[in-house]
Structure 1
């Protein structure tokens, strides 16, 4: 790359950063700069042809041979940049702190130009920290990748280390130029040794720190719609499909935010009570996965339910903070630019912060929301939108997700009532009458249906039974797998072959041949023709449905259709096209089968009587199948995913089968969900059961049913996560016997929010000593005003869990390490902070290493792949005595314990608000 790209990103009249130019002559310097930006990474730079060839190594270099570290190629930098150390203002390109972490010379093997072109560069480093032979290997570029992605790999030599050795990144943390830490550089502290680098160097790019100002318009004015390409980029959050964002791309949802309009008259700003409480306020999340409704065969008709109109539009979450608004779809895509008028209306609300759930619609002449009309408005650039709002998740520093729905709606109604008179916001009111009567009137009015909600329920992300939808017309989403051209046309669609996903396969459900206008038929052709493939994407096709004039496509496009039932073989009957669904991923499109409403009401009653009176906002309970008290073989839970070979025995000694494990998870779903849902997972898979070959899997691949398992891109690593009981059962199908979790969520992978101290006793350590150790960890934490929770490991020890408001991984690990080492220093005859097995005889290893990025601990309520099927079980602190056994509860007897409990020992873990103290 030339230096043009580098220069375009910076304003040299306002920053001391070197403009630089390509140097003459040949040099062999290299530099590594530790860059604490939005995501901590290491900038790896090699001098070649008068510039610094640059890569952003997301997890930093590793000295373990064969361990691959993703290195995203970035723009060339001038040689002068190799001496930069300082702070980049927040909100700017690469905003954060930069440290000169290493420097030296590099020696390429052969011609480096040939290696770069070929995609395999081999070289030796002679640095102050990095030494020995290395490889840079270019990965195959995937569709949507904006940058070339490489892998940085250490060769085995005298400078290499094993996985058990200390991590160089943690061992060597100071600048080679100034001797300062990242925090000291950020604070502008004086260099600890002589240097020619400015201690507080600050540079600024051409990106402005505030969002672009969008003036508020009068109601009669209309904002023109962005060009299709621009709108598509906004919908994808600035990335191509399947692309990876460079660590240097310092974007956020604020980049497209619409600011609040200035007041009509100037005046002295008032300090609101919300502003006074800001320092103690609960942080508002960037995005909350929405609560989704489950389809039932009829609406609930019992006390405790309220009923709302089912809208026919785009589900949108509006985030208001500091006067700026971001609108996101149900999948977290930023659609602010598509609905600027709605964003302005939200910005005008009298609130400092707010997180609102609702649906953007366009109404037809009868005043009824119409998805086709909404698409037509978007195509025409009209802004006749209405934002029907029905839930409030956060308001002025208060997290409302654990409050009852009735309370949240009352706060929302009050907020909307204070909006300006010309607002596009409309509060979605409800009725508490008979569900059957409300449904009957809705259908008579021509509405799509109703959504019934438990008035006392918290806001639970994911699909569950707190919200139930009852349809008037049968409208569903389908995935397009093929198309037939319209008669007499070569560029318009006449019919679509569609399906839904089932057990990871695209199942054919029929053809849709009506409902197309000339414009939509042409638009469908333009969307589908680039997706053409030679082979049929459906798992199978009925003989009478095979057509030679059908063109097959990749199953990516999702459409909505209305149908008048199905045939006896399950195919669509009289289906009509209604529109393209750009807000839904194809792998999420499953066939909806209504559950009996009686089952829904039984589940609601059971939940109301449950000892877990205060649900976690993260609880994503789904329709809960019944299960036997003993988890052995038996019938599949109603509604559960189909298991192949359900009688396969996983625990031979106690005769627990694959079906038995599925039954166990169904019975404890409400208990385990808050601790596994939307957290990255590491899985112990034993396809042939305990005692057979087992292996750990941390990344997703084709083994799993992607319609039920989340595959989350993390800088090239596909992390595994689940949202529903169906996802957990998919793991059972894949032979997963143990579920381990990260101390973070997939929504904030870089933020640790749960610490785990694993007390691992060495040989000759008594159980009483382990109990004493757990109490000491608890007491030390309590001295720092930190509340902790405890569970059995299902093995030999205990796990102490500390929920907190969030910290970066380095901070979390350093805090836990200090506590572990302090215990070892105060009582070296009892505790050890190092994992060296030979030194652990007679001592307890206070394992803090589970708090590093990518490290995991067994999940609460997960079985262990050990004889007897023990379960890692949460307990109250008063239960931690010499009478407690770490393997006391098993898959077979845990439900007996849960039924006897008067209260969940971990009921308050999600509500704890506490911060880790500094060093």
Structure 2
């Protein structure tokens, strides 16, 4: 093992990098582990690692993995890594090999599908299966070219049940799979002071939270800074790991005077005006003039303090310990929190001209990365943007007219146009920016959607600007934007579009595990471990949408998908009562002339939550409502696309289906399935029997096939579906079911079957995976009108003329 890790160790200085040197790990399990780390180095890539021969065989995948078998992703083989590198997450300091942020993007187990995986690797073609938190199914690594030291491979998804096209897993699932640590009662002695700490970041929210105990601090207009203090040294780092020690000599001297050993301090550097407010412009001027003596370091947290690891202690205790050590008003100051009602404090802060507030849960632990236990409340709209170009100057202005701006749609993803800014520059800024931008000019646009501007000078996306603005257009373009300054502390590829989210709801303590009168047992059990969504979270989701989903469920026979061990493990279907439900909550009926057991249905809000309490994740309904379940009141045309069919083709198929149904003088409604297809739903008056409704839906399917034989198929066999949309009319059979509107899906991503307005269906945006247990409530809160508001009042029947139009004699 030592020889295998020799190259790894030669390339790193372990006195500077926080990466593990590599220690021998005892084999705890037979399953082989795999890890994928998103690595924001010089170029963003994904490090793919497979455990084999006691090390992690490693490849750098520039575009990351893809579930689409048509995507052949380049994978450059790199040096073997130690096993304990798999759980590494942090920032590799600048000037070190691979400098940049490393995020644990996925992990799990892998199973070789070759008899001898080592021999398969040597021959250059390895087959294997992944069972992880994000990736699943069978994959291939095949060698193509390259030198012996750095051979090139291709990482390809095999065409199995997990394959899917039109889904960018790296964009849809950018989050870390690293678990947040639990609170501890006492601090632990640190084995060694980390070389760097990735700071905790706050999430922008619309309003102060209404639940939980929050501490509020002033949101300063400065640079985030972390200080590493040892017995003989004090060093300062930006939040991305840049070493700014040499740029802040006066602050380094003040930190050394504290005589705090083995300590990490987290705070913000700023320059104060005479009225006590921070000034971003004055901070930048202080750097430019070499006047760092004016810079003050406000410290608000201490992940490590005097040799103790405080990260698992509650925030309130960490701040109390810090306050005892930082007294006075020198260059290093303690950031006090504010007392009073959060809304009133925010109002006063805004009236005083402050930037806003930072809210922190009093009992929260310190977690690297962006969280909702730290939140931002802003008094004005402002954000960081990447400078992508300039327009020509007009009038008496020199240099440039306006800066063109962009944001990334995902970390290291595509750069999209966000607007331009032409105010906020003085003569000094115009001269400085003109000079710096001239040095990074490029011939073409770095944007995927460049604006139609004349005489644009494009630049490499290397500078980040802080911009204030009044509002955005519907297309997300800035209005009344004003330049505030440059952000030297933020890597351009980390600049994402920041939209305010709803304030977090703090989960109550154990006694609060009751949802609508139903006690949720094992509330902490994770239904989607990769997303951190618990059983209690799912119950609260259904509680929040009860008013919308109950009209779709009430008195309809149900088929449940139950997942007692979570949606990422084995689930099973259930139609009959066998779950020990509370009497009077979940009800049953028995079909006439049937030897089957009693079928399940519900009528109440509490019964809905009872289903979740008993392990139900998905809720599927028959097309009929009791007590007369022999006459359907709904037709569901399930449009199930082939894996290789593009989203625009599915949109065309759905619009064609709508056209045919509306030509019959029937109104229809649209929803996603939460999976890869779409449902077109037709409410009808319950007059026809099951066989007649099934036949009517079959005729619609056959009509579609005749109209567009290259697009549609009505054949169940998968071989007949290649490149087509399967029109599944069999959903309209007796005892068959379709997923209910607003039901969650027991699939990766926690998708929701979401009702849509027809004008939302466009070829430009794939909506199938957009709405989830986590994001659907935000959509519902923002909707001005329920797309299915008229569903319940739509009264229509299948007429003789309709049968005739479909060719029924």
Bin the TM-score by the shorter chain.
Answer: 0.3 to 0.5
Q: TM-score under structure 2 normalisation? A: 0.42
Q: TM-score under structure 1 normalisation? A: 0.38
